[in-house]
Structure 1
Amino acid sequence: MRKKSIIINERSHRELKKLAQEHNRNIGKFTEEMILYFQKTGTDPQAIKGKNASEMIKVIDRRIVSFFKTQESEILYPIQTQLNKNGERTDFLFKKLIEELNKIFERIKFGG
Structure 2
Amino acid sequence: MQLRDLLERASRELLIEFVLAAIHGYTIMARDPDLTEDDRTMINNRIHYLVGHALSLSRREELDAWRFDGIVENFGPLAPSLQKHPWEVLKKLDPGSSPG
The TM-score, its normalising length taken from structure 2, stands at 0.28
More helix by share: 1
Larger Rg: 1
Q: Compare relative contact order (CA 8 Å, sep 6+) and give the higher one, 1 or 2.
A: 2
The TM-score, its normalising length taken from structure 1, stands at 0.25
